[in-house]
């Protein structure tokens, strides 16, 4: 059976007009961010209510076989999101509550989905990091897979906690529609994983605030149906 994941980045945060590496800093969702997420929520609802049902794409049935599809009429009996999972940081939790509300769900908090720790760089702007730590920044930009700022996490370390959490969530909801509300760094790691991309290339994937990604987990391999969509357009 096909499990469909709506992978969503949280909305804009307070002070979000200035690009800072917040990481584990618990900055709140801004009013503008809440509006972005409401738009994303409406977008998810419209996809769920699409009578055509993206799960019934014929070429995917052919590739994955009969076991990769749901039973007859499944697209007509969907009851919305079965579950919504979120990071434990407030900007993600507040976003997840808005996503979950129309479906009568309460978000499930998964600490492993929190944003990467940027260590001593947290709270700093891009320019401040380059000015104060030019050599360290260049090392991170050249090799984000292995390098991390002092006290922070490497991309590999983020992957090692995020992907087991993803696998557990998807495994729990076979054939259902679910959502994960997380962060730019976490979403990039997940998308790189399902696309089979080298983790060194995560910054080739854009994740705007309130971005909606749609991933279908078929029997043979996952299929990305939408990347960085939603409020930014599909």
- pLDDT bracket for residue 53 (50, 70, 90): low
Q: Is the pLDDT of residue 230 over 60?
A: yes
pLDDT of amino acid 15: 77
Q: Out of 13-17, 47-51, 75-79, pick the least confident.
A: 75-79
Q: Which of 48, 15, 40 is nearest to 98 (CA)?
A: 40
**How much is the pLDDT for 64?**
74
What is residue 78's predicted lDDT score, i.e. its pLDDT?
56
CATH of the domain at 125: 3.40.50.1240
The percentage of residues in the chain with a pLDDT greater than 90, rounded to a whole number, is: 71
How deeply is 79 buried, as exposed, middle or buried, from its count of CB atoms within 10 A (0-12, 13-18, 19+)?
exposed
Q: Indicate the pLDDT class of residue 51, thresholds 50, 70 and 90.
A: low
Instruction: Give yes or no for residue 16 having a pLDDT over 80.
Output: no
Arithmetic mean of pLDDT, 138-154? 87
pLDDT confidence of residue 93: 98
Looking at residue 126, its pLDDT comes to 86
pTM above 0.85, yes or no: yes
Q: Among 159, 213, 212, which Cα is nearest to 186's?
A: 159
Phi then psi dihedrals of residue 205, to 5 deg: -105, 125
Question: Which residue range(s) make up the domain with 128?
Answer: 3-232
pLDDT at 55: 55
Q: Quick one: tokens of 147?
A: 């390098």
Instruction: Give the span between the Cα atoms of 108 and 86, in whole angstroms.
Output: 6
Average pLDDT, the chain: 88
Total tally of structural domains belonging to the chain: 1
117-156 burial code (b ≥16 CB/10 A, e <16) = bbbebbebeeeebeeebeebbeebeeebbebbbeebbbbe
pLDDT > 90? residue 131: yes
Distance separating alpha carbons of residues 202 and 25, to the nearest angstrom: 22
9-18, 77-86, 105-114, range with greatest mean pLDDT: 105-114
pLDDT of residue 18: 73
DSSP per-residue string spanning 91-122 = HHHHHHHHHHGGGT--PEE-GGGSPPP-GGGT
Residue 74, pLDDT score:
44
How much is the pLDDT for 90?
97
* Cross-sheet strand order for the sheet of 177-182: 108-109, 83-86, 177-182, 3-9, 212-217, 222-229
Question: Checking phi first, is residue 23 left (phi over 0); if not, alpha (psi -120 to 50) or beta?
Answer: left
Q: Is the pLDDT of residue 224 over 90?
A: yes
Structure tokens at 161: 């906690």
Q: Which residues are 4's β-sheet partners?
A: 177, 216
Per the rule left: phi > 0, alpha: psi between -120 and 50, beta: everything else, 178 is beta
Residue 21's pLDDT is what? 85
pLDDT, average across residues 176-198:
97
Handedness of CA 213, 51, 96, 60 (dihedral sign): negative
pLDDT at position 97 is 98
Paired tokens of 190 = 């997940």
């Amino acid at each position: 059976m096909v499990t469909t994941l709506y992978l969503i980045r949280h909305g804009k945060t307070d002070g979000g007009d200035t690009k800072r590496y917040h990481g584990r800093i618990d900055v709140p969702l801004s009013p503008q961010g809440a509006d972005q997420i409401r738009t994303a929520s409406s977008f998810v609802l419209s996809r769920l209510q699409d009578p055509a049902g993206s799960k019934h794409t014929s070429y995917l049935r052919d590739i994955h076989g009969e076991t990769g599809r749901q039973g007859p009429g499944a697209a007509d009996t969907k009851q919305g999101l079965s579950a919504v999972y979120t990071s434990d940081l407030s900007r993600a939790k507040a976003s997840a509550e808005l996503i979950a509300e129309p479906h009568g769900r309460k978000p499930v908090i998964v600490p492993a989905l929190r944003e990467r720790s940027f260590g001593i760089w947290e709270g700093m702007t891009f320019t401040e990091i380059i000015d104060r730590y030019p050599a360290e920044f260049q090392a991170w930009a050249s090799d984000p897979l292995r390098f991390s700022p002092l006290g922070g996490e490497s991309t590999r370390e983020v992957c090692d906690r995020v992907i087991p959490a993803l696998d557990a969530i998807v495994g729990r909801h076979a054939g259902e529609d679910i959502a994960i509300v997380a962060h730019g760094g976490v979403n990039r790691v997940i998308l790189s994983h399902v696309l089979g991309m080298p983790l060194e290339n995560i910054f080739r994937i854009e994740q705007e605030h309130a971005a909606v990604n749609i991933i279908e987990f078929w029997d043979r391999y996952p299929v990305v149906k939408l990347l960085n969509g939603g409020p930014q357009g599909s």
